[in-house]
Amino acid sequence: MKAAAIPLITLFIIGLCFSNVNFGFALDQDDFSVSPSWSTPLYYQGDSVSLKLILSSKSSEVLTVYYIGVHFDWMEEESFYGRDLSEDPVTVESLKVHVFDPMAITIPSDVSVGIHNYTIGIQIADPTSPDIVSWDSEARTIYVQDGDSKAYRELLQNVTVKINEAINATYQNPEAKSLLEQAEDEYAQAFVSSFDEQWEDAIAHLQAADNYLDQAVAAEQLGTQQSSEMQRLLWIVAPIATAVIVSFIVILVWRRRQPPADEYDQPTETQEYPQEE
């Protein structure tokens, strides 16, 4: 019984020794994660956006990245937007985070409106060997919107500001008021078209509203200018008219104070008598 106990104790001690020895590190997808950071939450046909990829290390080892990029479903197979780091690999320390330089992503103008998939690809060094491990993320999605909808939203913002300014201006000129009413009508029709996603019609209505607003401003300014000129003219004419009226009154009063012509002494005629011879 005692003789059998020695090998058991020896095996137990050897097991403890081997349990403290690190025979190598096998890289696993759970040892890191890559997440995207977009420059905008909205994506449009024909638009250019910026994308940053962020690698978070969950490993106890240093990770070395040789390539990182993204693939969209509108791209050809094996095509990527990415960065080739093979000449200058990026090392990420254990449990650290690295943010890669932003990449410019161009969404094709002819890509379909709707949901599109993309995956993140990375080539990373396995600390246990010189081999480079390739890893692709699960599919992520973005929603690509109609390119005209972006133009509509930008124009809508500008026209909304102008129409509010026009309303608060309380126009006095009748023509300006009429033009403002037409602008409001076009503005309302633009909303109706946008609800049906008729972006070209919506943009056309906003452009018409914008044109009416410009005309209303010009009409109000012209009316104000004409009113100012009339006031200046009155300031010039009024004193002259007053002087003329006063002069007329003075002359009239003076004439009324003059005595009638028959009250003046008339010269007497000298009667001539014939001389006696």
Nearest 5°: CA angle at 210, between 208 and 216?
Answer: 105
Q: If you average pLDDT over residues 236-261, what whole number do you get?
A: 65
Of 94, 90, 80, nearest to 32 by C-alpha is 94
The answer to whether 15 touches 71, Cβ cutoff 8 Å, is: no
Confidence of residue 257 (pLDDT cuts 50, 70, 90): low
Q: If you average pLDDT over residues 218-237, what whole number do you get?
A: 64
Residue 19: what residue type?
S
The string of pLDDT tens digits covering residues 54-74 is 999 998 888 999 999 999 999
Higher pLDDT among residues 277 and 113, named by residue: 113
Confidence of residue 31 (pLDDT cuts 50, 70, 90): confident
Q: If you average pLDDT over residues 225-251, what whole number do you get?
A: 61
Confidence of residue 28 (pLDDT cuts 50, 70, 90): confident
| Separation of alpha carbons 171 and 229, rounded Å | 18
* pLDDT value for 9: 34
* pLDDT value for 16: 35
* pLDDT value for 276: 54
- pLDDT over threshold 80, residue 272: no
Distance of CA 270 to the CA centre of its chain: 110
Lowest mean per-residue pLDDT among 39-43, 174-178, 267-271: 267-271
**Helical residues (DSSP H) of the chain, grouped into ranges:** 2-19, 147-168, 174-195, 199-257
| Separation of alpha carbons 199 and 205, rounded Å | 10
- pLDDT over threshold 50, residue 234: yes
Average pLDDT, the chain: 81
- pLDDT over threshold 70, residue 14: no
The string of pLDDT tens digits covering residues 87-140 is 999 999 999 999 999 999 999 999 999 999 999 999 998 776 677 888 899 999
Q: What is the pTM of this model?
A: 0.63
Higher pLDDT among residues 275 and 32, named by residue: 32
Q: What is the crossing angle of helices 174-195 and 147-168, to 10°?
A: 150
Lowest mean per-residue pLDDT among 28-32, 58-62, 148-152: 28-32
* pLDDT value for 268: 54
| Separation of alpha carbons 56 and 250, rounded Å | 102
Confidence of residue 142 (pLDDT cuts 50, 70, 90): very high
Q: What percent of the chain has pLDDT over 70?
A: 71
Q: What's the Cα-to-Cα distance from 211 to each of 196, 202, 205, 215, 219, rounded to whole Å? A: 23, 14, 10, 6, 12
| Separation of alpha carbons 277 and 233, rounded Å | 84
Confidence of residue 24 (pLDDT cuts 50, 70, 90): very low
Q: If you average pLDDT over residues 232-253, what whole number do you get?
A: 63
Lowest mean per-residue pLDDT among 13-17, 31-35, 101-105, 200-204: 13-17
